[in-house]
Structure 1
Amino acid sequence: MKNTILPKHKAITIFLIFAFGYYISNVLRAITATISPKLLLEFNLSASELGLLGGGYFLGFALVQIPLGYLLDNKGPKKIVSIFLFIATLGIIAFSLSSNFTTLLISRILIGVGVGACLMGPLTAYRVWFKDEVQQRTNSWMLMTGAVGLLSSSLPVQLLLPVIGWRFIFVILALLTLLCIILTIIFIPSWNLRETRGGLEHKGSLKEIWQNKFFKSLVPIGFFSFGGLYAIQTLWAAPWMVRVSGYTPKESANGLFMIYMSLLLSFLCWGYIVPRISKNITDAIRLLKLGAPLNLIILFFIIYLGSKAGAFQLSIFVVSCIFLSLAQPAVGLAFPLYNVGKALTSFNLLVFIGAFFMQWMIGIIIDFTIYIGFSEIAGFKAGFSFVLFTSFFSYIYFFIKNFNKK
């Protein structure tokens, strides 16, 4: 079964359009961190409610991953990404019109459902239309585009808030999403089902995915390590800077800008470096075993420093997590083309259920720690410690399962 490699000019066009969609999805993913002071004030939210609201995006995202895998493998990215982005548009508009916590949460879940195809759709397309040796690079540059979205959700949104308000910002995001739908329909090629299956009627199955030893070794990392990273990166970094480090909301937005800029630059460099050092699954496993502990060490020191840890230390943490990005394209390469969509979305299911769980759990731990008489700072340290311990044992499990693979 051979990939249908597209000409370079067509590949660049496809990448840019998909990257635009992924950019929007990341603005939507992280924007709650920047507007959280406004939401807390306007809707009188608790820490656990804020965590649930932020996690609603990830819950919606996770809910569609398994059916999304089948849809992508059978219908292709053009049709599926367009339809899902339309659902996201409805969610964005509903969020902008929300008047209470319940409608905010439902809208947030709908947004998560809608942008659920914004990374898996492109990665499925790249696996079929791009050469194997550029898979890691395109993955890194997609993540870099996502970092631009995270960056845009920080200081730029903070500067726009007093001018146009958070509701009109969401109206602008809805219009950008509609533009992305139009570009996708016009420029993304249609899916050739016969080519992706090599002329065979093999549809693949989820059983093949979940019984794969390499995939199973990544399950805890997908759930706890990725989930914890996303929980901190897209929500709890900002409250940490305000509640623990003593930043003002504007200083927190500047801190988020620094964090996301660091992430952007790291993915840009990683996109150039990783094709030279990771060309197959064996290389990815070796680098994960060597590099994954780095983020655990950094997180330990953030917790230890407490109020002395701010944007600089959090930036180092998110950059140190870059080795985790090797996992997703490695999962795609581990399966034949007819199973790529199901494999990628199965892994994404783990990641985003984990993100929902970890984001909400940190909020619950903070509230509970305060309830039993400890300080808010102690609550944040306890919440981040939960991420540290679960990620540590996830790494140990991965290391043991892949001990003989070098």
Structure 2
Amino acid sequence: MRDPIPPSASSAAPPAASAPERNLASPLSGRAVFVLVFLPFALGHFLSSLMRTVNATLAPQLVAALALTPGQLGLLTSAFFLAFALAQLPVGMALDRWGPAKVQLPMLLLAGVGALAFAGGQTFGQLLVARAVIGLGLGGCFMSAVKAISSWIAPARLPSVQGYLIAVGGLGAAAATLPVRLALQYMDWRGLFLWLAAAAAIIGLLIRALSPPQPSAASKAGLREAMRAVYRHPAFREVASLVLIPHTVFFGIQGLWISRWLSDVARYPDDAVTYLLYLGMAAVIFGAIAVGMITEWTGRRGIAPITVAAAGVALFVGVQLAFVCNWRPSYQLLSVLFTLVGTVTGIEYTIVAQSLPGALTGRAATCLNLLIFIGAFAVQAGFGLVVGCWRPDLLGHYPAPAYQVAFGALVLMQLPGLIWFVRRRRRNPVKLNSCPTIS
């Protein structure tokens, strides 16, 4: 990672760099920013992604232990998203007031308590509450990382650096597949959550110990005024209308239903499903880095990041149409393409971070996460309810038409945003680098 670019250089940067200035006057070298800022917060995002997606690997064990229906499995797993969403408003305010390091330690300790409760849970209700506590404690991991990075990195560098951050999340999601499967040879899922609880506490202490003092960028605006400014900002509204629903679909399906689709429709055994999940989550790493590099490359050529997002969303919807059509030539390829192409939805964080004042980046990430994770909860739980409308066979597999209908509903939800984007861009292109001033 190169040294942060001083604010005075922003006028010579490409269009994406002309966003509001951040407080980048820092004595830290690029290496120090990597070790003290990026790495500790990225570990928190790694753990958050791992715990968000681990139920996809543990689903057979959880179903066997508790005799769960698809609706119950979807609700249990999606409780993470609902609690995550509820954490966004208070966490966003805390990030802007006290800084990421002071917020992350108690949050990660809370996640550790939730993991301990999950390890000891005996009923569906107990596991549901424990899963929600985990989501609540991990609710600030990505936001705190975005806030810390955007405070020390010049706006022109944000697409690639945030791409690396999302790639680390991909590593966490990949760790929830084959590595977790291997760990289950030496312990059960309860023992696994004991280790995850310890990891949450250690990472929280590491962030608190290593993070340098955060540059001051506190907003004097109240919560209602700040949130109103975020939601009314044209860049926020345009990116949300285009990318928000695809992002919720990516999170909701990636974290659970891809594995069940591979088992029920493609009829792969558990070992093959775990391997394909690993390939899919590993694809997130390459996809996130590629999206960041492509966004910077197109930005130097005058192409706005929102245009890159639109192309990616169109491709992502195309992949889902293949699920609707039950494209048989390569089920394996479809499962990997879903996660590879779906990483483009993470570009909305970059667009918002480049377009809003530095004092509002925490609350801007809050607004996005609040909407994304409420939507992911609805997608993950709703998908299970749709699939549960069909009866399973004697082996417990649900039929292909159940998944085709569920994926078809998701496609219909995403098409309006893509169509409206194309129509708006033809009539009245939005300048994404303008932003209101809040004092």
Letter of the aligned partner of 2:270 in structure 1? P
More deviation, 379-388/16-25: 379-388
Query: How far, CA to CA, are the matches of 1:110 and 1:401 in structure 2?
Result: 41
Q: Flag structure 1 segments of 5+ consecutive residues without an equivalent.
A: none
Choose the corresponding residue for 2:227, options 202, 206, 217. 206
1:284-323 aligned at under 5 Å gives the runs: 284-305=305-326, 309-323=330-344
Matched, 1:49 2:72: yes
Query: How far, CA to CA, are the matches of 1:327 and 1:253 in structure 2?
Result: 29
Structure 1 segments of 4+ aligned residues over 6 angstroms from their partners: 279-282
More deviation, 143-152/271-280: 271-280
The Cα shift of 1:270 comes to 3.4
Query: How far, CA to CA, are the matches of 1:211 and 1:267 in structure 2?
Result: 28
1:163-182 aligned at under 5 Å gives the runs: 163-182=186-205
Q: Flag structure 2 segments of 5+ consecutive residues without an equivalent.
A: 1-20, 431-439
For 1:71, the equivalent position in structure 2 comes to: 94
Matched, 1:277 2:298: yes
Whether the 8 Å CA contact 1:127–1:337 is kept in 2: the answer is yes
Measured at CA, do residues 29 and 389 of structure 1 come closer, stay the same or move farther in structure 2, by a change above 3 Å? same
The Cα shift of 1:2 comes to 4.2
Secondary structure in 2 matching 1:162:
coil
Matched, 1:405 2:429: yes
Choose the corresponding residue for 2:255, options 226, 230, 234. 234
Letter of the aligned partner of 1:158 in structure 2? R
Measured at CA, do residues 307 and 105 of structure 1 come closer, stay the same or move farther in structure 2, by a change above 3 Å? farther
Choose the corresponding residue for 2:139, options 116, 120, 123. 116
**Could you give the per-residue CA deviations for residues 203-257 of structure 1, whole angstroms, max 9, x where no partner exists?**
5611111222222233344542111111111110000000010011111101101
Measured at CA, do residues 123 and 279 of structure 1 come closer, stay the same or move farther in structure 2, by a change above 3 Å? farther
Secondary structure in 1 matching 2:325:
helix
Choose the corresponding residue for 1:127, options 131, 145, 150. 150
Query: How far, CA to CA, are the matches of 1:164 and 1:140 in structure 2?
Result: 34
TM-score (norm 2): 0.86
Measured at CA, do residues 312 and 131 of structure 1 come closer, stay the same or move farther in structure 2, by a change above 3 Å? same
The Cα shift of 1:10 comes to 2.0
TM-score (norm 1): 0.93
For 2:346, the equivalent position in structure 1 comes to: 325
Measured at CA, do residues 389 and 57 of structure 1 come closer, stay the same or move farther in structure 2, by a change above 3 Å? same
The Cα shift of 1:335 comes to 1.2
The Cα shift of 1:5 comes to 4.3
For 1:10, the equivalent position in structure 2 comes to: 32
Letter of the aligned partner of 2:318 in structure 1? I
**Could you give the per-residue CA deviations for residues 101-149 of structure 1, whole angstroms, max 9, x where no partner exists?**
1111111111111111111011111222111111111111111001001
The Cα shift of 1:178 comes to 1.3
Measured at CA, do residues 48 and 375 of structure 1 come closer, stay the same or move farther in structure 2, by a change above 3 Å? closer
Secondary structure in 2 matching 1:18:
helix
Whether the 8 Å CA contact 2:242–2:310 is kept in 1: the answer is no
**Could you give the per-residue CA deviations for residues 236-295 of structure 1, whole angstroms, max 9, x where no partner exists?**
000000001001111110110111122222223334443222369961112122332011
Measured at CA, do residues 375 and 44 of structure 1 come closer, stay the same or move farther in structure 2, by a change above 3 Å? closer
Matched, 1:378 2:401: yes
Measured at CA, do residues 170 and 5 of structure 1 come closer, stay the same or move farther in structure 2, by a change above 3 Å? farther
Whether the 8 Å CA contact 1:87–1:110 is kept in 2: the answer is yes
The Cα shift of 1:347 comes to 0.7
1:81-230 aligned at under 5 Å gives the runs: 81-192=104-215, 195-197=216-218, 201-202=220-221, 205-230=226-251
Letter of the aligned partner of 2:24 in structure 1? T
Q: How many residues align?
A: 400
The Cα shift of 1:174 comes to 1.1
Measured at CA, do residues 378 and 266 of structure 1 come closer, stay the same or move farther in structure 2, by a change above 3 Å? same
Whether the 8 Å CA contact 2:243–2:313 is kept in 1: the answer is no
For 1:393, the equivalent position in structure 2 comes to: 416
Measured at CA, do residues 255 and 144 of structure 1 come closer, stay the same or move farther in structure 2, by a change above 3 Å? same
Matched, 1:348 2:353: no
Secondary structure in 2 matching 1:205:
helix
The Cα shift of 1:80 comes to 0.7
The Cα shift of 1:160 comes to 1.8
Whether the 8 Å CA contact 1:293–1:395 is kept in 2: the answer is yes
Measured at CA, do residues 236 and 244 of structure 1 come closer, stay the same or move farther in structure 2, by a change above 3 Å? same
For 1:361, the equivalent position in structure 2 comes to: 382
Letter of the aligned partner of 2:429 in structure 1? K
Measured at CA, do residues 365 and 5 of structure 1 come closer, stay the same or move farther in structure 2, by a change above 3 Å? farther
Letter of the aligned partner of 1:191 in structure 2? Q
Query: How far, CA to CA, are the matches of 2:358 and 2:342 in structure 1?
Result: 28
**Could you give the per-residue CA deviations for residues 285-333 of structure 1, whole angstroms, max 9, x where no partner exists?**
1212233201111111122125655232121122222332221111122
Query: How far, CA to CA, are the matches of 1:375 and 1:178 in structure 2?
Result: 39
Query: How far, CA to CA, are the matches of 1:2 and 1:292 in structure 2?
Result: 29
Secondary structure in 2 matching 1:116:
coil
Measured at CA, do residues 39 and 400 of structure 1 come closer, stay the same or move farther in structure 2, by a change above 3 Å? same
Whether the 8 Å CA contact 2:326–2:404 is kept in 1: the answer is no
Whether the 8 Å CA contact 1:256–1:311 is kept in 2: the answer is no
Query: How far, CA to CA, are the matches of 2:67 and 2:301 in structure 1?
Result: 50
More deviation, 219-228/120-129: 219-228
Letter of the aligned partner of 1:22 in structure 2? H
Measured at CA, do residues 298 and 2 of structure 1 come closer, stay the same or move farther in structure 2, by a change above 3 Å? closer
Whether the 8 Å CA contact 2:115–2:196 is kept in 1: the answer is yes
More deviation, 281-290/238-247: 281-290
Whether the 8 Å CA contact 2:22–2:357 is kept in 1: the answer is no
